[in-house]
Amino acid sequence: MHCGSKAPIEKSSPCDYSDEAKRVGLDEFLRKVKTKYYKMNPNNAVHDPDSTPTTIRQDFSPYNAHPDAIRTRTDAARALYSEANDLDNNAVSTKMKPREIKAIAQVKHFLQSNFGAPYDENYYAGDWMLGPNKFCWQPICSVGSDLKAHFTYKKWGIRPKTVDDVNFVIDHLQRLKDSLMQYIENVKYGVQAGFVRPVEDCQDGLYSIQRAYMKVSQQGPWGVLNESYTKEMLDPKWLAELQKDASEAWEREHKESVRTSINEALVEYVGKPLDSLLNYLEFNHSQYCVPSNISSGLATLPLSYIYKNGNNTGIRTTGKLPSGEPLSGKEAYTMILPYFTTNQMSPDDVYSLGEKMLGQLYPRAVEMAKKLTGKQNEAQAVDEFKRSLQNQSMFFNEEKIPENETNKDAFAKCTSMEQAKIYCPNRYKAMLTWFDFVNNAMSDLAPKTNHMFHFTGNRQSTPNCPIQLVANFNPGTGYQSYSASDKECTKAGQYRLPFYLNEMGPRYNAISVAAHEARPGHQTQVTDFNYPKDL
């Protein structure tokens, strides 16, 4: 499809479909995609904009990690992607509105990446058997959030009122247990198939999923009752509408209160399987993660042999999916890549572009090094420039961070700023300095984009949400990141700084990274995307 819309829109509302969009069935197709998405992903039922409390209860089911379920979701997305391409090829873009052209591009990208899920949701890629990655960008890392979103005392939430309702909740917690235990089996299958991460990636993935289920990680199965995602289920308000006769009938039959039964179900069907998963990853699966000189990424997968504790066991792997298709790490990477490029560049194309940009940018960096150091010899200038970048003054910690704030004991103790103030005082002090520096940088940057947007009035084009700086206490995270607010700005967008860097910072990229993460970067990009206006 070629853009450049010439469609007359003066005779129709901005929200009406053009005649061309109606001809190719764009409206029906978008509805079809939406319906299929929520059917394939019932753990997201609450997010359907057309949902009601009744439909949420009817449709909700926890995330299903069984391979056949993953395959069903993949095949559904692929079939719709084929339909989207046919629709795109049949449409005359010059007769369509810009938003319609945009919608087609977006839905194709959404379907190409398995309903907008780049990791673990493409059955044929096989990455669903690798275990959690360092981002924990996988459905298994969000099952707690799914519970929180659906079992809530908010007006749309699933709340027990009758005995059947209580059984419904417990049954769905049992389904979650089944999925969590299946995830362990998926990872075990990955070992047999030769799809295993390198040691470093396994460790980072473990850190990430431990942070996702922090209380269970620290306290065991009963820690689930202290997790944020069960907070509302444990609040008396959640059971406030439970009928008295239902409560009494439950106690007569089960010899305990509904509250006790719910708590026990949370421990038995959520806490225990989560604890089993975390322990399996840490103490069992970690033995099969390979040294990075054997495999450092997807390109070398599947491995030909199973490795244990860094040694080749001599046991050959299957190299196949459960349904018999051959696995290929290179193909998996090719399948994942379009989610991040939003174009049709192949891995080789991306590599070639990197080589091209290196050839253009490295000479400029060398000239900069010569200018700043005053040395004309390239090797000497580059060496001195590197040393200046590594000088302690370039970081927010005035001195080297002591070992007792960098080891596993620190990782366990320093999981919040309150705890860090006590157990990691040097990192805590450096983080506050970093916060101040970045806040000042954002204050300097914000006015530079004010003229580009309408923040108030009838022409408002972007929400004016605040940004909160927070520390990211995941030891496997070395990058800065952003978490969006919503279009109503009910909470601040979060700009996250990694707490466990060897050196806190650096200072020299703080302004450019702040621009990337906040305004005019992700804060503008993501909040504006969540704030559509049909103009």
Chunked into runs of 10 residues, the chain (535 residues) has average pLDDT values of 47 82 98 98 97 97 99 99 98 96 97 96 98 95 98 96 98 99 99 98 97 97 98 98 98 98 99 99 98 96 98 98 98 96 92 98 98 97 97 96 96 96 98 97 88 81 84 94 83 94 96 91 75 50
pLDDT at 451 (0 to 100) = 85
pLDDT at 464 (0 to 100) = 76
Q: How many helices (H) and strands (E) does the chain have?
A: 22, 5
pLDDT at 535 (0 to 100) = 41
Query: How many other CB atoms sit within 10 Å of the CB of residue 386?
Result: 10
For 490, the token pair is: 């009910």
3-state SS class at 267: helix
Q: Which residue has the tokens 């891995």?
A: 347
304: which DSSP letter? S
Distance CA 425, CA 414 (A): 10
DSSP track, 328-390 = -HHHHHHHHTHHHHSS---HHHHHHHHHHHHHHHHHHHHHHHHHHH---SHHHHHHHHHHHHT
Helices within 91-118 (DSSP H only): 98-112
**Are the CB atoms for 294 and 278 separated by under 8 Å?**
no
**Are the CB atoms for 224 and 270 separated by under 8 Å?**
yes
Query: How many other CB atoms sit within 10 Å of the CB of residue 23?
Result: 14
- Identify the sign of the CA torsion 52, 75, 337, 187: positive
For the chain, the first-to-last Cα distance in angstroms comes to 22
Task: Give the CA angle between residues 225, 229, 235 to the nearest 5°.
Answer: 65
Distance CA 80, CA 88 (A): 12
**pTM of the full predicted structure?**
0.92
pLDDT at 11 (0 to 100) = 55
DSSP track, 454-468 = --SSTT--S----EE
52: which DSSP letter? -
Q: What are the CA-CA distances from residue 493 to residues 36, 466, 483, 526 (Å)?
A: 31, 6, 6, 10
Half-sphere exposure of 377 (CA within 13 A, CB side): 4
**Are the CB atoms for 126 and 318 separated by under 8 Å?**
no
483-535 per-position pLDDT tens digit: 888 777 788 899 999 999 999 999 999 999 999 998 888 888 876 655 555 44
**Are the CB atoms for 165 and 250 separated by under 8 Å?**
no
49-100 per-position pLDDT tens digit: 999 999 999 999 999 999 999 999 999 999 999 999 999 999 999 999 999 9
Cβ-based neighbours of 297, under 8 Å, separated by 6 or more: 198, 329, 333
Task: Give the CA angle between residues 390, 394, 397 to the nearest 5°.
Answer: 105
**Are the CB atoms for 121 and 70 separated by under 8 Å?**
yes
